[in-house]
Amino acid sequence: MNYLADEKKLLRYTYLLCCIIFLDLFLIKKTFDKGAIIMAVLIIILIGYSHFIIRRFFPDGDKFILIISSILSIIGIGVLYRLDNTVAIKQLIWFSMGVAGFIFIVVLLPDLERFKNLRYLYLVVTVVVMSLGTLFAPEQFGSKNWITVFGVKFQPSEFGKLFLVAYLASALKEYESFKNLIEPAIVVMISLGFMVLQKDLGSALIFFGISVTMLYIATSKFKYVATCIGLFIIGGFISYKLFGHVRLRIMIWKDPLKYASNESMQIVQSLIAIASGGLFGSGLGLGYPNFVPINQTDFIFAAICEELGLLTGIAIIILYFILFYRCSRAALRANNNFSRLLAVGYSATIASQVLVIIGGVMSIIPLTGITLPLVSYGGSSMIITFFSLGILQKISEEGV
């Protein structure tokens, strides 16, 4: 009963946060922005309805997964609305589609254990999807990771993450000896190879993090992890020697101020924005986030820190940590190895993506162009993240 009370209390705070953000956006313009109020009402209705449906059909699972992901989405949509109303409206549509997918998976999808033997289907789809960027994507900002189909632009590697985790879960669920690891190792190397050819270093880091995490959970042998790390370092060194794009990212990371007027302008502007915001920020609508390039996707964290402060940035990181913790708990509830590995894989996906992009924006690691899950603008990222969370929610419900 206390669990339900805490859940309802957090949900009320979520509604309050939404009201505060969009009320601020309503007031900061010279003429009151009625669109901000409409956005708030639509978001609250969507979150409330989705929570009601999940609790109505499955009362026992971990509902904090949906609530925390909704909080992060509210922050993202609010900041995007401050930057560009049109982009925020599109993001609300993607958010609605993501939540619809979440509900579909939890309510209508059969028991996940039925999907455990589709290993080779996952393998084929993974390899095909990973190759699309290499074969068909035009080069943009030094990478080849976006393609357009029937007028819809999306990033194939986002869908690749979904199927790679499913494949590894299916392949590693009955691990017995080293021979069981040969095929998964080849699939992972092919996937990483495509990411290197596409110069998508961020996705390569994420796929590596996913694979190593699932390998350790499946085998409990650190020697395999150490071997993978060693091979990844060797592969990174070879990539550094072969690709100028990789050398440029390392050069910028080592001394961003030296190239501030050209190659490292993005990261320098990001660091200036974070520093100028201080602990409490300049206030929503009172900063200059448009000085930061690509502030709606890759560098939205810098825009948030400038206007809402570093404390808000830290709070967002804590929210991601809590989301990762709640998702990881689903693995403990899983009633079979396939579901357990799925939970670990999708939890590691979110954690890896957050660490890579925030680390890059703050120049802790070399910058890689990926989105901040649920916060950055991006349809494919939003939908795939909610699909992953839906599967995690389903695992938490089935394991009760």
154 in a structural domain: yes
| 270 and 356 part of one domain | yes
| 213 and 318 part of one domain | no
Give dist(CA 48, CA 41) in Å, integer: 11
| 206 and 266 part of one domain | no
Query: With 0-12 CB in 10 A as exposed, 13-18 as middle and 19+ as buried, what is 43?
Result: buried
Q: Confirm if 18 and 26 have CB atoms less than 8 A apart.
A: no
**What was the pLDDT predicted at 388?**
94
| 281 and 397 part of one domain | yes
**What would the two tokens of residue 202 be?**
């961020």
Please name the residues in contact with 129: beta carbons below 8 A apart, sequence gap of 6 or more.
Answer: 156, 157, 159, 160, 163
250 in a structural domain: no
CA angle, residues 262, 265, 267, in degrees to nearest 5: 145
| 156 and 265 part of one domain | no
| 66 and 151 part of one domain | no
Our count of domains for the chain comes to 2
323 in a structural domain: yes
| 168 and 266 part of one domain | no
Scored b (16 or more CB within 10 A) or e, 52-83 reads eebbeebeebbbbbbbbbbbbbbbbbbbbbbb
- Paired strand residues for 147: 154
CA angle, residues 208, 362, 14, in degrees to nearest 5: 85
145 in a structural domain: yes
Residue holding tokens 């995490």?
213
| 127 and 176 part of one domain | yes
| 222 and 318 part of one domain | no
181 in a structural domain: yes
Tens digit of pLDDT at every position of the chain (400 positions) = 467 788 889 999 999 999 999 999 998 877 888 999 999 999 999 999 999 988 888 877 888 999 999 999 999 999 999 999 999 999 999 999 999 999 999 888 888 888 888 999 999 999 999 888 888 777 766 667 778 777 777 788 888 889 999 999 999 988 888 888 999 999 999 998 888 888 778 888 888 999 999 999 998 888 888 998 898 888 888 877 877 777 878 888 887 877 777 777 888 888 888 998 888 888 888 888 888 888 888 889 999 999 999 999 999 999 999 999 999 888 888 888 899 999 999 999 999 999 989 988 888 888 777 889 999 998 888 999 999 999 999 998 876 5
Tell me which residue of 272, 295, 311 sits closest to 375, measured CA to CA. 295
pTM of the model: 0.92
| 271 and 394 part of one domain | yes
What range defines the domain where residue 395 resides?
1-109+256-400
Long-range interactions of 145-154: CB distance < 8 A, separation 24+: 145/198, 145/200, 145/203, 154/379, 154/380
| 149 and 91 part of one domain | no
**What would the two tokens of residue 87 be?**
């982009």
**What was the pLDDT predicted at 2?**
67
**What was the pLDDT predicted at 399?**
61
| 100 and 211 part of one domain | no
247 in a structural domain: no
Last residue in a domain, options 208, 242, 276: 242
